[in-house]
């Protein structure tokens, strides 16, 4: 089955577009056999701009889906996600806007997995928790095990490796915490002209983004999370 991965968080500025671009570059480099499609649903179109100038991403679309925007785009995104899930091996990566439009949650429910970047600052953690709670409620009422919710600690300061505050805040929720990503000034400066993973070579971020990409490949695309959740359901039924 194809994988539809959405990068989402109702908090702005947490690194959604940045993560989308780096993961896209990771897939392009390390998952050559899979066809990668990208949708930027944010009106601002950061991902569309960052990757659009690159020219190496053929299947890149800008389809703004917000509170007021285009019902037509929503239908298009809906159709693309559905057709994607029916294909073998393909990858679909969706970047989203801040805020919590119902449209975004609707698309999220169709996806295989949600990547939720967040810093370890309380100001980011609190709205992130609310956002995850909302998705969780939708999953529970639909009795769905997907989208898997993967929290991605981002912009971690150099000396700070302790995620305990983040873990504590999310302890009541059914989430997986991915390997974290450091704060790196080159990353901040790539916003205007995105040149991919290569310019970060020699930094901690470089190894981390590859490690993160491998994690997504194994657990999401490779189906490890599906297996774990399927087993959990079996255990719960037996109880
Ligand atoms: N790991 C990181 N290191 C340094 N800067 C980062 C990192 N991740 C994101 N940023 C910066 O944070 C800002 C917000 O990121 P962005 O991806 O636009 O967030 P969002 O899409 O969630 O609004 C940008 O200036 C971006 O370059
Ligand atoms: Mg963005």
- Sequential pLDDT tens for the chain (239 residues): 678 999 999 999 999 999 999 999 999 999 988 899 999 999 999 999 999 877 789 899 999 987 666 788 889 999 999 998 888 788 999 999 998 778 889 999 999 999 999 999 999 999 999 999 999 999 999 999 999 999 999 999 987 778 888 999 999 999 999 999 999 988 888 766 788 999 999 999 999 999 999 999 999 999 999 998 887 665 555 54
The set of long-range contacts for 132-141, using a CB threshold of 8 Å and a minimum separation of 24, is: 132/170, 132/173, 132/175, 133/173, 134/100, 134/105, 135/105, 135/108, 135/109, 136/173, 136/174, 138/105, 138/108, 138/109, 139/109
Whose Cα sits closest to atom 27 in ligand 1?
Answer: 188
Annotated domain spans of the chain: 3-238
What pLDDT is stored for residue 80 in this prediction? 93
CA of 141 to the centre of ligand 1 (A): 33
Residues with CB under 6 A from ligand 1: 12-18, 46, 98, 154-155, 181, 183-184, 187-188, 191
Ligand of minimum distance to the alpha carbon of 44: 2
What's the pLDDT score for residue 55? 78
| CA dist., res. 96 & res. 134, Å (int) | 16
Instruction: Name the E strands within the chain.
Output: 3-7, 36-40, 59-62, 91-95, 113-118, 148-153, 176-177
Identify the nearest ligand to the CA of 47 by its number: 2
Q: Specify the residue for token string 């930094």.
A: 203
Atom 9 of ligand 1, nearest CA residue: 15
CATH architecture under which domain 3-238 falls: 3-Layer(aba) Sandwich (3.40)
Instruction: Tell me the CA distances in angstroms from 41 to 20, 37, 69, 94, one per residue in order.
Output: 12, 13, 10, 7
pLDDT at residue 122, as a whole number: 92
Q: Which atom of ligand 1 is nearest to the CA of 190?
A: 27
Ligand 2 mean position, distance from CA 132 (Å): 18
Label residue 181 exposed, middle or buried (CB < 10 Å: 0-12, 13-18, 19+). Answer: buried
Burial of 54 (0-12, 13-18, 19+ CB in 10 A): middle
Return the ligand 1 atom nearest residue 95 CA: 21
Q: What is the value of pTM for the model shown?
A: 0.94
Q: How far apart are CA 156 and CA 134, in angstroms?
A: 25
**Residue to mutate (ligand 1; options 9, 13, 21, 205; most atoms within 8 A of CB):** 13
- pLDDT for position 81: 93
CA angle at residue 67 from 79 to 111, to 5 degrees?
35
């Amino acid at each position: 089955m194809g994988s539809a991965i959405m990068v989402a968080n109702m908090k702005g500025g947490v690194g959604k577009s940045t993560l989308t671009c780096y993961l896209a570059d990771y897939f392009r480099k390390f998952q050559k056999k899979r066809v990668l499609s990208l949708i930027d649903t944010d009106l601002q179109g950061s991902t569309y701009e960052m990757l659009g100038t690159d020219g190496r991403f053929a299947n890149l679309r800008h389809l703004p889906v917000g509170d007021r925007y285009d019902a037509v785009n929503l239908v298009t995104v809906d159709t693309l996600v559905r057709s994607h899930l029916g294909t073998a091996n393909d990858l679909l990566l969706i970047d989203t806007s801040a805020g919590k439009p119902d449209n975004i949650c609707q698309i999220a429910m169709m996806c295989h997995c949600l990547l939720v970047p967040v810093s370890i600052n309380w100001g980011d953690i609190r709205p992130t928790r609310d956002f995850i709670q909302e998705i969780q409620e939708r999953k529970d009422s639909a009795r769905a095990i997907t989208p898997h919710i993967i929290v991605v600690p981002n912009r971690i300061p150099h000396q700070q490796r302790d995620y305990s505050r983040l873990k504590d805040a999310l302890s009541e929720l059914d989430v997986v915490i991915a390997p974290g990503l450091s704060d790196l000034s080159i990353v901040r400066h790539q916003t205007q002209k995105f040149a991919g993973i290569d310019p970060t070579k020699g930094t901690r971020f470089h190894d981390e983004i590859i490690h993160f990409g491998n994690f997504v490949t194994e657990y999401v695309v490779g189906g490890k999370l599906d297996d774990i959740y399927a087993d959990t359901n079996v255990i719960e039924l037996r109880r």
